[in-house]
Amino acid sequence: MPSPPVPDRPAPDLVHVDTGCLLVDKPAGRASVPGLGALREAHVLGDVQARFPEARVVHRLDMATSGLLLFARSAHWQRVYAGLFAARVIEKTYVARVQGRLGERPGDHGEVELPLAADWPNRPRQQVDALRGKPSLTRWEVLAHEGPAGPTRLALRPVTGRSHQLRVHLLAIGHPILGDTLYDPARAAASPRLMLHASRLAFVHPDDGRPFAAERPAPF
């Protein structure tokens, strides 16, 4: 049975809809799917199912992250899109503002390849773990420097899709994402939110074989 919408916040903006999928722009602070306590009622899945009862979860965004979220419109399409994500053929791009100055000029790029695992005593935190961690790869590109000492605006492209991957990888190289109350609480209050937004999804559409891309600019 579809989850009921929660009226205290507006529904996420509908970005795209076709026979197999729909994409919405998830606001920061809204859970992707049902959680515990109050989060059991307030989530984007419920918002979407109020209009599209057939919507099914394919992937998730952290509650503090905003941006493009894809839902399937049947069990068949859920399997198809889940397979595309698992095969890493859906290109995901995020925009982030990070602490400090990374790179020398716009266009500079690099990657972070560090294995990640759950930090069990401090769940839901994740951590770099050379012994138990799963291989994890993030590519970054400088979009702009907002001052001589930062912050730096980045495009982030996760090749793998580990939990909190972008947040932990940027923290590990000394450039935590601004506003991260979980991984950088001492400085998080200086930002109104986690400065991380899923700005682009691109893939070959499984229905017609044509290239498809959806974009939503970061609201920060």
Query: Which positions are annotated as active-site residues?
Result: 62
| Residue 92: closest CA among 133, 33, 137, 131 | 137
| Residue 14: closest CA among 22, 4, 24, 5 | 24
> What tokens does 50 get?
């109020």
First-to-last CA distance in the chain? 36
Which segments within the chain are labelled E, that is strand? 13-17, 21-26, 56-57, 66-72, 91-98, 109-113, 116-118, 126-128, 137-145, 152-158, 196-204, 211-215
Per the CB < 8 A criterion, the answer to whether 90 and 80 are in contact is: no
Q: Rounded to whole angstroms, how far apart are CA atoms 106 and 128?
A: 28
- Reduce the DSSP state of residue 169 to 3 states and report it: helix
Tally of CB atoms within 10 A around 108: 14
